[in-house]
Amino acid sequence: MLGQENCLCRSPFLLCVFIGFLVHSIVEAEIPLGSKLSVAENDYWVSSNGDFAFRFFNISDQANLFSVGIRFNSKSIPYSQQTVVWVTGAQVPVSNMSYLELTKEGELALFDSLQEAFVWTSETRNRSVVSAALLDNGNLVLMDKEHSIIWQSFDTPFDTLLPGQNLFANYLLRAASKDRKSSYYSLHMNASGHLELHWESSVVYWTSENPSGSNVSAFLTSSGALELRDRSLKPVWSVFGEDHNDSVKYRFLRIDVDGNLRLYSWVESLGLWRSVWQAIENQCKVFATCAKLGVCVFNNTGSADCKCPFEVTRNNECLVPYEQQCESGSNMIAYKNTYLYGIYPPDNSVFSSSLQHCEQLCLNDSQCTAATFSNDGTPQCSIKKTVYVTGYSDPSVNSISFVKRCSGPFAVNPSITKSPPSELPPTLCVPCIIGAATGTFIFFVILQLGIGFFIYRRRSSTREKVTLDFTGPNSKGLFVLSFSEIKSITRDFKNQIGPKMFKGMLPNNHAIVVKDLNASMEERKFRSAVMKMGSISHKNLVKLEGYCCEFDHRFLVYEYAKNGSVDKYIDDSALCRKLTWTKRVEICSSVAKAICYLHSGCREFISHGNLKCENVVLDEKLGAVKVTEFGFAILDGKATYCGFSAEKDVEDFGKLVLTLVTGCRDHDHVELCEWAYKEWMEERVANVVDRRIEGGYNSEELERALRIAFWCLQMDERRRPSMGEVVRVLDGTLSVDPPPPPFAFQIPLQVHDSEENGSELEV
């Protein structure tokens, strides 16, 4: 009996060891259907050689959170060094009464006691699984009667590759993240046979340098070489650990939290894991090593240090000191031997130019925040238009960088008084005032003069506007309209097309929509918000064309979308037929892209705050999908700009997806969601889909849409994905695990205060 159940260890630790010892000679130890592991029992399945164990382990000391996975288990490795090599499921932590079961139906299923639901399964029901086994190489397999492998953990790698495991084309290892908000690193085996290290989805910062080939896979040999092998298992590229060919008992390859790829060996004599190879020697060259903490310096002890040469914000982020309008002009600060790049977004525009020209290019461009000039044969100037700038610095770096900064508030630049009013900023420069207020008397005098000048300028510009009526947008590309002009272009608010929304026509016959915010907002804040919104441009966002800010009136003027909003289509049974399945999927994906852009594509985080069908409009022939009414949130008659969190937008997006899929708009969304989740769980997903859709639906897209919607609708905000992830799931470039029930009881995760503050970027 012991021989048969050797791997199914019950809690007494000694017995386990004893059994493990006894069965040392048994090649494959089978785990029968119906077997269970639980947190409370602390039992585990071991491989017959005792090297690996599949068990629950705590991931956080205080919060009572557990994961289940495969760890090293060898007696020669102390518990704290028994590294986790694979984690079950979506890395969803479970609570202390949870269990994992190999069900009678042949499925591995993880039950979370807090949610009282299965949060992950291997999805192998009805596939004739009769047993499981943890193999000696650390692979957990489910097998049928003939011992054919139906499912294996080696096929869904986590961050680690073990000797004997293949990483096939289009598979990836994903680094564990430092915290929920940090960006992620991953290792891809791509279709043309190269290994690539990625930051987020688009930045590739390391690749294996081998000729292209198809069906190449990555493989770690037991002698300590990382190889790329072709179809005939011939290595086409390899790298060796320092201890290659040495007799080393345990090795693994892992993409670490810091984005570097390392090969580790167990050093018996020292009792630790040692890195014997790493993909990128200088950690500073790993993309975004310092992320929002400044510039990376590789110091003489061989470690990467983050230093902030710019400005440290309240949230302890190191950002470039960018201000859209500097009252007294800008200048450039030079950083020698420093290479800088933007991270949100990561793309810089690159020009060929000289050093001086590069500095001027940035200085002349109002959106430029920093520039780097490098010359290794070809002189290149890269211009950054984001405050999220990072980089590295080292005496050997052949680059010089410039960061733009407002000239001191009191270094009055005489050229300003000479420039025409249209070029002057529309609002007072607040930091200047604060600066001046802390200064001495003489500065107050200057401040007084400044305000006098400001008032004079505003008067003159108002006067000017009367003559400039409708002639064209201001320097920001926005029309600034008076209330009487708003009345005239909407013909006294005759053509109402939505709540507080009116269609209008500019004198140049350009159709627009006027939205009455109908809420109070301080003039200064309103103007600064519309300026920011005016500079946003994305093909799935309705463009802000102008605004009115006079007395208590706050109007926004948007471009007009001919076909109106999506709610109209859903409610009307005739129009509804035009919303085919493909169209609905396209709407979801366009909206996700738009919100993703607002959250992380702009200079600063912008929340939508009011995402719903009414605010998604369709262009002519239902061609383009655009999101409108972003930015402002209205509460109790008061408007705020960006008053909501990213998580709220994500939740609203989940509701929007459910509405589009089900066609139910007026339902209580909690009820709708609970019902849809139940139908989905119980494999009656066809019931969820709007019956009025002509031409049916694509079940793969439906599965993706529902899974991501349920993730977005998680009550526990911290479980919701970022919009970037949503976009990738919808276009099928990121797979998504089955979601836990959205409305289940929340698990108390630890909350770090510093991360919750402010409107920081969600990545």
Ligand X SMILES: *[C@@H]1O[C@H](CO)[C@@H](O)[C@H](O)[C@H]1NC(C)=O
Query: Smaller CB distance to ligand X: residue 28 or 737?
Result: 737
Residues contacting ligand X: total by CB under 6 A:
30
**Is 356 a binder of ligand X (CB under 6 A)?**
no
**Is 71 a binder of ligand X (CB under 6 A)?**
no
**Is 58 a binder of ligand X (CB under 6 A)?**
yes
CB of 363 to ligand X, least distance (A): 7
Options 300-308, 432-440, 618-626, 685-693: segment touching ligand X (CB under 6 A): 300-308
Q: Please identify which residue in the block is written with the tokens 């790493």.
A: 278
**Is 296 a binder of ligand X (CB under 6 A)?**
no
**Is 36 a binder of ligand X (CB under 6 A)?**
no
Distance between start and end Cα atoms, the chain:
52
Nearest CA to 110 out of 94, 132, 130, 127 is that of 94
Query: Smaller CB distance to ligand X: residue 192 or 582?
Result: 192
CB of 676 to ligand X, least distance (A): 19
CB of 244 to ligand X, least distance (A): 4
**Is 754 a binder of ligand X (CB under 6 A)?**
no
User: How far are the Cα atoms of 419, 433, 443 from residue 449, in angstroms, in the given order?
Assistant: 17, 12, 10
The only residue of 191, 411, 416, 451 in contact with ligand X, by rule CB under 6 A: 191
**Residues in CB range of 519: below 8 A, 6 or more apart:** 554, 632, 634, 637, 638, 639
**Is 430 a binder of ligand X (CB under 6 A)?**
no
Query: Smaller CB distance to ligand X: residue 378 or 750?
Result: 750
Q: Please identify which residue in the block is written with the tokens 């609002």.
A: 427
CB neighbours (10 Å) of residue 751?
10
**3-state secondary structure string, 72-106?**
ECCCCCCHHHCCEEEECCCCCCECCCCEEEECCCC
CA distance 142 to 415: 77
CA distance 20 to 28: 12
CB of 602 to ligand X, least distance (A): 25
CB of 204 to ligand X, least distance (A): 5
Query: Smaller CB distance to ligand X: residue 64 or 488?
Result: 64
**Is 127 a binder of ligand X (CB under 6 A)?**
no
Question: Residue 283 is encoded by which pair of tokens?
Answer: 């950690």
Query: Smaller CB distance to ligand X: residue 366 or 535?
Result: 366
**Is 675 a binder of ligand X (CB under 6 A)?**
no
CB neighbours (10 Å) of residue 210?
16
Neighbour-count burial of 232, counting CB atoms closer than 10 A to its CB (0-12 exposed, 13-18 middle, 19+ buried): exposed
Query: Smaller CB distance to ligand X: residue 187 or 616?
Result: 187
Query: Smaller CB distance to ligand X: residue 66 or 502?
Result: 66
Q: HSE of 187 in the Cβ direction (CA atoms, 13 Å)?
A: 26
CA distance 632 to 639: 6
Region of residue 551 (phi > 0: left; psi between -120 and 50: alpha; otherwise: beta) = left
Q: HSE of 120 in the Cβ direction (CA atoms, 13 Å)?
A: 19
**Is 367 a binder of ligand X (CB under 6 A)?**
no
**Is 361 a binder of ligand X (CB under 6 A)?**
yes
**Is 38 a binder of ligand X (CB under 6 A)?**
no
**Is 699 a binder of ligand X (CB under 6 A)?**
no
**Is 126 a binder of ligand X (CB under 6 A)?**
yes
In this structure, the strands spanning 389-393 and 295-298 are parallel
Query: Smaller CB distance to ligand X: residue 125 or 553?
Result: 125
CA distance 352 to 356: 12
CB neighbours (10 Å) of residue 643?
16
**Is 451 a binder of ligand X (CB under 6 A)?**
no
Options 184-192, 435-443, 526-534, 701-709: segment touching ligand X (CB under 6 A): 184-192
Contact call for residues 529 and 632 (beta carbons, < 8 A): yes
Which of positions 204-243 make contact with ligand X (CB under 6 A)? Answer: 204, 207, 214-215, 240
What DSSP string runs through 305-344? EEE-SSEE-TTS-EE----S--TT-EEEEEEETEEEEE-S
Options 58-66, 459-467, 544-552, 753-761: segment touching ligand X (CB under 6 A): 58-66
Helix, strand counts (H, E) of the chain: 15, 45
Query: Smaller CB distance to ligand X: residue 237 or 581?
Result: 237
**Is 305 a binder of ligand X (CB under 6 A)?**
yes
**Is 60 a binder of ligand X (CB under 6 A)?**
yes
Query: Smaller CB distance to ligand X: residue 190 or 714?
Result: 190
CB of 704 to ligand X, least distance (A): 18
**Is 303 a binder of ligand X (CB under 6 A)?**
yes
Query: Smaller CB distance to ligand X: residue 444 or 745?
Result: 745
The only residue of 59, 84, 149, 505 in contact with ligand X, by rule CB under 6 A: 59
The site for ligand X (CB under 6 A) is made up of 40, 58-61, 64, 96, 125-126, 190-192, 194, 196, 204, 207, 214-215, 240, 244-245, 299-301, 303, 305, 357, 360-361, 364
